[in-house]
Structure 1
């Protein structure tokens, strides 16, 4: 049992250091030797814990997207108005970013280095998240809460762009909490899409 716990701890350290290195040096600029050195292992010893560098990237990216999907599925299934659900999505998205902006940047930028089935899985999950937000915004248009003169696709992509950009400028030690920033972004976006 102690060996299994030690393996999980080592794997957690490997993921943490890989995230940091992918964020600082990029996926292609990070070697297995870099990751091994960061966790204090011989490069060959890494393979006792992982299959390879792409496996690490997939786990980081997919784990991050899964957090956004869980938030999205909870919001889209809720009984509240489209405006309340969109506010919940916006605030939740920013809260996930604020938990670990460094990881979020890897999730948002480094996924392109995945290949084959790994890439297809991640692209599908990204599409699912966009579809969730589209459903909520579309519901707001349909019920008259949001201005139906706005283009749906442009509105959704603009919203995602604004939310995803938060990871670029959010500072954990800044004067504002993730919750405060999420509330302000929700106010700004919702004021922009409200119908008359």
Structure 2
């Protein structure tokens, strides 16, 4: 099959995934049926299966692609950058990706648990790659004294990721202030990690 012949099928599949993302965001995965997705893209329910295997396959495609986008963003950062600045870049990149499509990010970070065992295991592996970036960066920051020496790496990592995972709840794509949300969140989180200046009154 030539590229030109396959493009319409790829475009249709992407349309289905986009519609499903919006529906999963509004109704949650269990509350959305294949019929709902088909109606959203003006197709017969049976026609959907020419492009996807089933509803779970749709969720896995959304979640796996979404997580890989976040992983790619942090793994592309220069490892030679100071750890505190690298962490700031990662936080800002995370918020920027969320702002592109908050509904998709909400599905990616909160609905992967609906996946079956095999798909969930793959997603967990990708999530661990993302978590490991933050864990390693925070650990490096402690060693280089960019961060406080008394920090518990595990709890510091969970605190940062916990804050990031909920950004889809308050970051909105059509909000002009979203462009500055990453910097503001990074300032707050990094303030809790950096050493306290004892000379500050």
Which TM class, normalised by the smaller chain length? over 0.9
Which residue of structure 2 lines up, in the alignment, with residue 122 of structure 1?
123
Unpaired runs of 5+ residues, structure 1, are none
SS of match in other structure, 1:66? helix
Q: 1:29 aligns with which of 28, 31, 50?
A: 31
If the length of structure 2 is used for normalisation, what is the TM-score? 0.93
Q: Distance in 2 between matches of 1:148 and 1:98?
A: 33
Q: Distance in 1 between matches of 2:53 and 2:176?
A: 41
Which residue of structure 1 lines up, in the alignment, with residue 199 of structure 2?
none
Q: Distance in 1 between matches of 2:57 and 2:174?
A: 31
Unpaired runs of 5+ residues, structure 2, are 197-201
Cα shift at 1:3:
4.0
Structure with the higher helix share, 1 or 2: 1
Cα shift at 1:4:
1.9
- What is the 5 A alignment of 1:90-129? 90-129=91-130
Which residue of structure 1 lines up, in the alignment, with residue 194 of structure 2?
194
SS of match in other structure, 2:76? helix
- What is the 5 A alignment of 1:155-170? 155-170=156-171
Q: State the Cα RMSD in Å.
A: 1.2
Structure 1's consecutive aligned runs of 4 or more residues displaced over 4 angstroms after TM superposition are none
- Which digits, 9 at most, give the CA deviation of each residue in 1:125-167, with x for residues without a partner? 1111111110000000011110011211111101011111111
If the length of structure 1 is used for normalisation, what is the TM-score? 0.95
Residue 140 of structure 2 is aligned to residue 139 of structure 1 = yes
Q: Distance in 1 between matches of 2:76 and 2:51?
A: 33
Q: Distance in 1 between matches of 2:75 and 2:107?
A: 23
Which residue of structure 2 lines up, in the alignment, with residue 52 of structure 1?
54
Cα shift at 1:35:
0.7
- Is the 2:99–2:173 Cα contact (8 Å) retained in structure 1? yes
SS of match in other structure, 1:50? coil
Aligned length: 194
Q: Distance in 1 between matches of 2:80 and 2:29?
A: 41
